[in-house]
A and B are shown apart, each in its own frame.
Chain A
Amino acid sequence: MSRPELTGPAAHFYNEKEARKYDSSSRMVGVQREITERAIELLRLDHSQPAYVLDIGCGSGLSGQVLEEKGHFWLGCDVSRDMLLVAQERMHNQANDDDDDEGESDDESMDGESNKQQRKSTGDLMHHDMGTGLPFRPATFDACISISALQWLCYSNAAHQNPRRRLTRFFSSLYTVLKRGGRAVLQFYPETAEQAVLITECATRVGFAGGVVVDYPNSAKAKKHYLVLSFDRNSEQKRKAALKDGLSSAAEEPQSVLVTGASREGAKKAPIRKKKGVKTKEWVVHKKETQRKKGKAVRPDTKYTARRRPTKF
């Protein structure tokens, strides 16, 4: 069975028919629910306080429902409109099951207060592509979850889509919109080990701390990968201490990383060699700099560096 990610963009795969199938399959619902509960467990939320959780790739709202049961409120985003419409139906049915005596509530009757304690769904939905960055104010969310969605970023479906760039854009915007001290748990299905490494790399490069938790590592079918991200506590403490001392160069860890290629500090542009085998001075100097950064012993740069030797050594 081929992976759905290989067939095309997520919005095309999750069309109306597929969305209905997804939502009505009890096996799928069961599996997704289990994954969500595990993700919430990894989030280590305080369930006595309602938290604002971002659900990325919320699909038909299965994970959102679990979040609500734990007492939190959420905002889900998904790139497939058909899945979102199914989610709306689910939320609507959930609400209608809870208060039978109210009926359709389109009218503005102010006396329609339900006597039952059950609340209507506190989730909201948004149609959006996660690879283009999250359009929210900084520090909006207390936490973030994502169930079986992240791997879609690893496949490029158009000329302008570059997986690494999309992943980096996604993670850097996630870093910004998460409140400090918040956590993100993203369950995904990597096709290869390289994909898992790519995803983790892009996440840690923007400043997140954390890594991947693998449940059932010995079973190919049951194996689940959870990318658990948080804000590096050590760097936070260092930053606070440095700010207290009034050091302006304190903020080594980026607070919000803007991903524009040219302005990235220390952008590594490999210098070009003139022709194969001939190393330009630029290349040699760059290489020496790299080695110095690695901490190796390197001769100082002088006027003799990369000078063309008159005779072969």
Chain B
Amino acid sequence: MRLLTHNYLQSNVKGTEEGYPLGIVPETVEIEKSPVDRELLLSILPKLNYDAVHQAVAQLRLHCSTLPKLPSTLPENISNDENLVNDLYFVLFDVHVKNGCLVCPATQRKFPIKDGIPNMILHEDEI
């Protein structure tokens, strides 16, 4: 599961008020380096919830300290800051949480991640 996906996932268990953003408890994290696609990153940046990205990276850094540190808010002219663009692309596309779980902030319900695939299947009483 990439952090890009995590940015959009929320818990839709019945009766959950604020099921976003989901906390990450990583067990295995893998890095698969790929060439930076600048245009792609700049096009998705407006739709991203940056705070959720920042929080997710902070949670992953507890497990994998080589991840880059991100500023707490996005600067204005981000297209000029090459390092930040590369770091953001790396963090969103190249970091894969292979095993672990996602935790709903409101209900603490755990969604397991196995082999890089998060399991969002709801139980019968949560639909």
Contacts and interface: CB of A to CB of B under 8 A. Distances in A.
Interface of A: 49-50, 52, 73, 75, 77, 79, 81, 84-85, 88, 95, 105-110, 112-114, 117, 119-120, 122, 124-129, 132-137, 139-140, 158, 160, 169, 173
Contact of B10 (A50, A84, A107, A135): A135
A110 B33 contact: yes
B35 A126 contact: no
24 contacts: A50-B43, A52-B44, A81-B117, A85-B117, A88-B115, A106-B31, A106-B32, A108-B31, A119-B34, A124-B2, A124-B5, A125-B117, A126-B1, A126-B5, A126-B117, A126-B120, A127-B121, A128-B120, A132-B122, A135-B11, A135-B120, A136-B10, A160-B124, A173-B12
Given A122-B93, A129-B122, A135-B10, A84 B117 contact: yes
B4 A120 contact: no
Nearest to A136: B8
Nearest to A124: B5
Contacts, number: 95
B49 interface: yes
B8 A114 contact: no
B30 interface: yes
Interface string B84-114: 0000000001000000000000000000000
A81 B5 CA distance: 18
A158 B43 CA distance: 43
B116 A137 contact: no
A-B CB proximity, top 9 nearest = A128-B120, A135-B12, A140-B8, A127-B119, A124-B5, A120-B34, A108-B31, A132-B122, A105-B32
B66 interface: yes
B5 to A, nearest CB: 5
Given A120-B34, A122-B93, A124-B4, A137 B122 contact: no
Nearest to A51: B43
Contact of A133 (B12, B116, B119, B124): B12
B34 A137 contact: no
B58 to A, nearest CB: 18
B50 interface: no
B120 A127 contact: yes
A73 B4 CA distance: 11
Nearest to B116: A88
A134 B120 CA distance: 9
A126 B2 CA distance: 11
Contacts of B34: 114, 119-120
A105 B33 contact: yes
Interface string B57-71: 000000000100000
Given A88-B116, A137-B20, A50 B30 contact: no
Contacts of A120: 32, 34
Contacts of A73: 40
Contacts of A79: 121
Nearest to B111: A135
Contacts of B9: 126, 135-137
A50 B115 CA distance: 27
Contacts of B121: 79, 127-129, 132
Contacts of B11: 135
B17 interface: no
B41 to A, nearest CB: 10
Contacts of A128: 119-121
Contacts of B115: 85, 88
B107 to A, nearest CB: 13
Contact of A137 (B10, B118, B119): B10
B37 interface: yes
A159 B115 CA distance: 31
B33 A119 contact: no
A158 B2 CA distance: 33
